[in-house]
Structures are given as structure tokens and as C-alpha cells.
Amino acid sequence: MNPSTTKPMSYAAVAVAVILAVLLPWFAPNQFYIHLATVGCINLMLVLGLAIIARAGQLSMGHGGFALVGGYVSALLSMKGWPPLLTLFIAGLTAAVIAAALGWIILRLRGVYFVLVAFAFSQIAVLLALDMSSITGGANGLVGVPPISIFGYVLRAKPQFYPFALVCALATLLLTWLLYRSPLGTMMAATAENQRLTESSGIDTHRVQVIAFTIGSGIAGFAGALSTHYLRFISPDSYTFWESVSYLTMLVVGGRDGVLGPVVGVLVLTPLPELLRSTEGLQHIIYGTMLVLCLMFVPNGLASLVQTWRSRQRVARTTTAVVAEEVT
Amino acid sequence: MSMLEVDSLKRSFGGLVAVRNVSFEVNEGDFLGLIGPNGAGKTTLFNVISGVLRPSAGTIRFLNRNISGQPANQTVRQGLSRTFQAATLYPEATVIENVARGTLGASLTGLSSGFLSRKWRVNAEEKAYHVLDLFGLRRRADLKARELSYGEQRRLGVAIALASEPKLLMLDEPVAGLNPEEAAELASVLRRVKSERGVTMVMVEHHMRTVMGLCNRVVVLDHGTLIADGTPAEVVSNPLVIEAYLGKEAVDA
């Protein structure tokens, strides 16, 4: 999304969407909808993290691994008595530090090699969680993770947790938007589009990609921890390879450009399996068919439909201006 | 004063020596032409100087600093930019965004700046518009780069390199693939850039009319070795150069 074309109309649309999200608990028919919305908020953070990495031109297949690390760090520390509100941030920081160290080494690897190493990392994270059973509880995971409490107000039930998850998701959204508008975000987009040219414009593209990987994975760590304190449980199955794939699917279906893509992807794909549940055995077939159709007809994601419409207007304006200039 | 000193530079790929013991200097204000038959090692020499490839031996000094083998992005920030043979740009970004991205490396102090203020973008676009004016591309500013004609894309490629405010600009075959009018237009743009911005230039080019019309000095490379260095008139009458281009019989004839 090019910020310079953002119109007052877009701001109004954002305001309406935020108000609807805030009011959701009042018009939700039952608590299941609130649960879905909370999961959506957590998914949004994870997909935004992935989008930031993709913005700099890299595909992370290990995104779930960082969420898993964040979840375990926050669970273990809070079970030792640390305040969960603090351990959430420690979880994000831990994931970011691991990503920075890993990224410094593996981002020298281009394309498919980076994908493979990131994938291997997420597998190692799962295996470590299984094998270090004296600390992590092995395959049983950790049960009874303390809930988050804010100044003594404990977020135990769904209607209490949802506002906190929404605030976290909106804050991530805002930060991502600010990042994309900043010089660093511009360098990330430039690196993704033409790394050689960006390098010869005096930008250290390796550093830009490591920073993007660090920020994106740090967000994943925070979101993984948030989810762990919501479900009050984490196990090696919480974030497997398939979770990494599903975040990637949300990003691709929604769109990789701008912050609108992840929002659309999460809004469409988080409730979809639930909506299809009534079709019994057909749900996976319908889900798969919808993905294939999306990739065939809107390869740049559903959000690109909005951008196509916008750029048509832009070209029309420019053409009119050029013609007017050449006529006079 | 000498701006770039290349001393006994060598680069080999396995057993193939692409650049062999090459030494030359570029003085401030020069427009140096680098010519030679196909496969002479011109582009390799370019890539080694600009930091895309590491030298196998020898040194490169730019503004009295040793830049041999340092990463390309650092060399650019010190004031040495280069363009690429093919049209190298950001095809999906607008023309103004292409050039604005070119300004970032040279003008920013840190990566954490500009998160809340939009001043950096105003500055970047202002600089970019100046460059677009110089290249006659301002009217195309809001189009996507891939929507430009080939000639305009080549000009945009040079504009992006100039946006990093280099002291020395190295052009890799800037007029290759352009028709005579487009080539003449680009040549006049380069002349204007040189006089208005005082940029020293080095150009690899096959198009002899462009080289003779623009360059005050020419160096000739053949099989990775430097065989001539002088004014365009001196170089074209040099028997070694004629031999490299036309063969030994042509010299004897």
C-alpha cells in the first residue's frame, strides 16, 4: 500500500473496522465467536511477522518454530513466578535474538537454501521440546500456564482476553504500517524487488534482510507466547510445520504487499474451516479448491483487488495529465 | 588529481584469467572510455572495481582509500556508483520511487530514523525530481518503470545510479541496444550531467561514435591486458589497437 495515495476514505474504513472489532463481544451470539476473533488476532500478528520477512524478499518456513520458542520461554518463566506481562516481551526478545544470530549466518544463503534452513530450525525446535522432557514436559507439554494479569486484573475468560489480544494485534499492525513507510521499509521493498540494484545504491541488503527476519521472528515469538497464555497450555504440537504453512497460506491468499493483505488473509482463512465444518468430510476439499482458485485468479492476493482499482485510477489521472500537457 | 588508481589488478575464474595485471588511473574531471573486443574483460574489470567481485591480486584506491575487495554497498557510500548492462531497475515501482530509492544509501545516517516523520521522503523525492529533470523523465514520474520505453528505462538506470550522488560514475554500455536517436539523446544527457554535477565518469562502450564524442581519454583492453591508454585520436591510430580489433593482417596492409 502506497501511503501517499491513502485517502481520507481509507482512514474512515480503518476507523469503522477498528470500531467493529472493539464492539464484537457485544453482538457476538456466543463465546465461540469471541474465541475465533482472539485466534484471528494472534494469527494476524504471526502473519504480519511473516509479511515483514517477505517484504525484504525472504520466505520463512520456520515461522512456527519462533512462535514455539516464544511460547515455551513465556510459559516456563511465568510458571516460575515471573509476571506474564513481562515474559511475553522476553519471549519476543528471545525469538528475535535467535533470529538475528541464525539470520546472520543463513541469510547469506539465497532462495531455496534459506527456506530449507528455516524449515530445519522449526523442526529442531519441535524435537528439542519433545526431548528435553525434564524442562518442557515432553510430548505432554506444559499444562496450567498462568493467565496474564494486568495490575491485578486477571485475563482468564474469553471476553476478558479478547480486548488484550486486539490491542496487541492493532499495535503490531500500526508498527508494521510505520515500518513500511520508513526508510528501512523502503529499503526492504527495494531489496526484495532487485537486490543487486539496491546493493549498488549503497544499501547493505544483507543487513536489511537480517533486520527484517529479526523483527518478523520476534513478533512470532510474542504472538506464540500470547497464544500460550490464552490457551494456558503449550506442547510440541502447538506450532508444527503445518502452522508455518497455514500462516504462509494466509499471507499468499490475502496478499503480500502492504498491511491490508495479512488482515484480509486472516479474516478469510481463520473462520473458514469452522464455516466448512457443517459440510462434513468435504471441508478439506473445499478449502483446497478455494486456495487453488485464489492462486489462479488473484495471484497477488485478495487485497490486490483494491490496489488494482487504485492504480487504474492513478494511470487514468497520469494519462489525462500527459495528454493535456501534450495538447497545449 | 587522480581519483581512482587501479594497480596491477588481476582476476581469474578457475584457470581463466579475465583481467591480467591491469593498471590505470582516472583523474578528477575525466570522461574515460574503456573499450576492447568482446571478451576482453571490461565488465569483469568493472565488477572488480565496483566491489561486485573480489580481485585475485592487485589494489584499487579510490580517493586515496584502499577499496579492494570491500562490499559494493560501502564503495557506493564513499562516492563510486555504477550502472549495469541490462536495464536494471525496480519494474513494479513508479519512476519517482525508483530514483528516490537510489538516494537512500547515501543520505541516511541510521536505519532507525524516519519512523514517525515523513521529512525523509519529502527530501528523497525532491532530490529525485531534480535528477528526473536532468534526464527528461519528470513527466513519466508517476508511471511504473516497466511501462517506460526501452530507451527511457536505460536513462532511468543511469538516473538511479546518479541519485546516490557519486563523485565517480561507472557506466556499463549505456547506449547498447538503443537506436541512433536514443543514443545521441543519452550522450547529451551524460554531457549535461557531467557539466552540471561535475561527476567524473568511466564508460565501457562498444559504440565508437559515442566514445569518441564523449571521452577525453580512452584505455583499451584485449584478452585481459591493457594495450593502450591515451586520447581517442591516439588510441584509434595505435597499431596494437587496430590489431586487436581487425587482426594482424590489417596492420601489415
pLDDT digits (tens, 9 = 90+) for B240-252: 888 888 777 766 6
Q: Could you say which of B147, B165, B183 is where a domain stops?
A: B165
Instruction: Chain A: give the shortest CA distance to residue B115, in Å.
Output: 5
Q: Is there a domain that residue B6 lies in?
A: no
Q: Is there a domain that residue B101 lies in?
A: yes
Q: Is there a domain that residue A50 lies in?
A: yes
* Residues A15-41: tens digit of each pLDDT: 899 999 888 888 888 889 999 999 999
Residues in B closer than 8 angstroms to A256, CB to CB, are none
The closest CB to that of A203, out of B73, B89, B114, belongs to B73
Query: Do B159 and B131 belong to one domain?
Result: yes
- When divided into structural domains, chain B yields a total of 2
Yes or no, beta carbons of A197 and B111 under 8 Å apart = no
User: What percent helix, strand, coil does chain A show, rounded to 5?
Assistant: 80, 0, 20
For chain B, the straight-line distance linking the first and the last C-alpha, in angstroms and rounded, comes to: 41
Query: Do B227 and B243 belong to one domain?
Result: yes
Nearest CA in chain A to B109: A183
- Residue ranges of chain B whose pLDDT lies below 70: 1, 87, 108-112, 250-253
Instruction: Chain B: give the shortest CA distance to residue A197, in Å.
Output: 7
Yes or no, beta carbons of A314 and B142 under 8 Å apart = yes
The three-point CA angle A258-A259-A260 to 5° equals 95
Neighbours of B117 (CB within 10 A): 10
Q: Is B82 on the interface with A (CB under 8 A)?
A: yes
Q: Is A189 on the interface with B (CB under 8 A)?
A: yes
Among A3-17, A130-144, A295-309, whose mean pLDDT is lowest? A3-17
Q: Is A313 on the interface with B (CB under 8 A)?
A: no
Q: Domain of residue B98: give its range.
A: 89-165
Residues in B closer than 8 angstroms to A204, CB to CB, are 71, 73-74
- Residue A3's pLDDT band, with cuts at 50, 70 and 90, is very low
Query: Do B104 and B228 belong to one domain?
Result: no
The closest CB to that of A202, out of B112, B116, B164, belongs to B164
Query: Do B124 and B176 belong to one domain?
Result: no
Q: Is A7 on the interface with B (CB under 8 A)?
A: no
**Tell me, what CATH number does B216's domain have?**
3.40.50.300
Residues in B closer than 8 angstroms to A308, CB to CB, are none
- When divided into structural domains, chain A yields a total of 1
Q: Is there a domain that residue A322 lies in?
A: yes
Q: Is there a domain that residue B120 lies in?
A: yes
Q: Could you say which of B165, B190, B221 is where a domain stops?
A: B165
Q: Is there a domain that residue A182 lies in?
A: yes
Query: Do B171 and B242 belong to one domain?
Result: yes
Q: Is there a domain that residue A318 lies in?
A: yes
Yes or no, beta carbons of A200 and B72 under 8 Å apart = yes
pLDDT at A319 over 70: no
Residues in B closer than 8 angstroms to A178, CB to CB, are 115-116
- Residue A86's pLDDT band, with cuts at 50, 70 and 90, is very high
**Tell me, what CATH number does A255's domain have?**
1.10.3470
Burial pattern B204-216, b for ≥16 Cβ within 10 A else e, equals bbebeebbeebbe
Q: Is there a domain that residue B64 lies in?
A: no
Q: Is there a domain that residue B19 lies in?
A: no
Residues 91 to 110 of B: which have CB under 8 A from any A CB? 91-93, 100-102, 104-106, 108
Nearest CA in chain A to B124: A183
Query: Do B149 and B172 belong to one domain?
Result: no
pLDDT at A276 over 70: yes
In sequence order, the 6+-apart residues with CB closer than 8 A to the CB of A318 are: B142, B143
Q: Is there a domain that residue B122 lies in?
A: yes
Phi then psi for residue A234, to 5 deg, are -145, 145
pLDDT at A1 over 50: no
Residues in chain B: 253
The pLDDT value recorded for residue B117 is 78
Q: Is there a domain that residue A18 lies in?
A: no
Yes or no, beta carbons of A204 and B71 under 8 Å apart = yes
Instruction: Chain A: give the shortest CA distance to residue B212, in Å.
Output: 28
User: What percent helix, strand, coil does chain B show, rounded to 5?
Assistant: 40, 25, 30
Q: Is there a domain that residue B226 lies in?
A: yes
pLDDT at A4 over 50: no
Q: Rounded to whole angstroms, how far apart are CA atoms A203 and B101?
A: 10
Query: Do B75 and B194 belong to one domain?
Result: yes
Q: Domain of residue A182: give its range.
A: 30-327
Residues 50 to 79 of B: which have CB under 8 A from any A CB? 50, 52, 71-74, 76-77
Looking at residue B176, the DSSP 8-state letter turns out to be T
Q: Is there a domain that residue B228 lies in?
A: yes
Nearest CA in chain B to A179: B115
Work out the average pLDDT over A233-241.
92
Query: Do B146 and B253 belong to one domain?
Result: no
Average pLDDT, chain A: 88
Instruction: Chain A: give the shortest CA distance to residue B18, in Å.
Output: 22
Q: Could you say which of B101, B131, B165 is where a domain stops?
A: B165
Query: Do B143 and B174 belong to one domain?
Result: no
Query: Do B209 and B192 belong to one domain?
Result: yes
More confident residue, A114 or A45: A45
The pLDDT value recorded for residue A273 is 80
Looking at residue A153, the DSSP 8-state letter turns out to be E
The pLDDT value recorded for residue A5 is 47
Query: Do B181 and B147 belong to one domain?
Result: no
Give the best residue of A178, A179, A182, A200 to mutate against chain B (max B CB count within 10 A).
A200
Instruction: Chain A: give the shortest CA distance to residue B218, in Å.
Output: 25
- Residue A318's pLDDT band, with cuts at 50, 70 and 90, is low
Query: Do B31 and B152 belong to one domain?
Result: no
The pLDDT value recorded for residue B253 is 57
The pLDDT value recorded for residue A328 is 53
The pLDDT value recorded for residue B38 is 85
